[in-house]
Amino acid sequence: MAEPAPPTLEVSGLAVEIATDNGLARILDDVALAVAPGEIAGVVGESGCGKSTLVRAVLGILPRGARVPRGAVLFQGADILGDGAAAARGRIGFIPQDPYLSLNPVFRAGDQILEIMRRHAPGRRADHVRRLVDLLRAVQIPEPEAALARYPHQFSGGQRQRLLIAAALSCDPALVVADEPTTALDVTTQREILALLARLARERGLAMLFVTHDFGVVAGLCDSVTVLYAGRVAEAGPVRAVLDEPRHPYARLLLACHPDRATDLAGIPGTVPPATRQPAGCRFHPRCPIAVADCAAAVPPPVAIGGGRRVACPRHDMALPVAELA
- How far is Cα 248 from Cα 305, in angstroms, rounded to an integer? 12
So what's the pLDDT on residue 260? 67
Are the beta carbons of 277 and 295 closer than 8 angstroms?
no
Does pLDDT of 325 surpass 50? no
Report the pLDDT value the prediction gives residue 323, as an integer from 0 to 100: 46
CA 41/CA 233 separation, integer angstroms: 14
Q: Is the per-residue pLDDT at 3 higher than 80?
A: no
Helix (H), strand (E) counts: the chain: 11, 12
At 111-147, the pLDDT tens digits run 999 999 999 888 899 999 999 999 999 999 999 999 9
pLDDT band at 233 (very low <50, low <70, confident <90, very high): very high
Instruction: Inform me whether the pLDDT recorded for 326 exceeds 50.
Output: no
Domains of the chain: 9-91+173-325 (3.40.50.300), 104-172 (no CATH)
Residues in Cβ contact with 227 at an 8 Å cutoff, skipping those fewer than 6 apart? 44, 45, 233, 234, 235, 236, 242, 248, 250, 251, 254
pLDDT > 50? residue 212:
yes
The whole-number pLDDT of residue 174 equals: 94
The predicted model gives 302-311 an average pLDDT of 93
Percent of residues, the chain, with pLDDT higher than 70: 94
Q: What is the mean pLDDT of residues 50-57?
A: 95
Nearest Cα residue to 9 out of 47, 45, 60:
60
At residue 302, what is the residue type?
P
63-94 pLDDT, tens per residue?
Answer: 888 999 999 999 999 999 887 777 787 899 99
Instruction: Measure CA 260 to chain center.
Output: 22
pLDDT at 26: 94
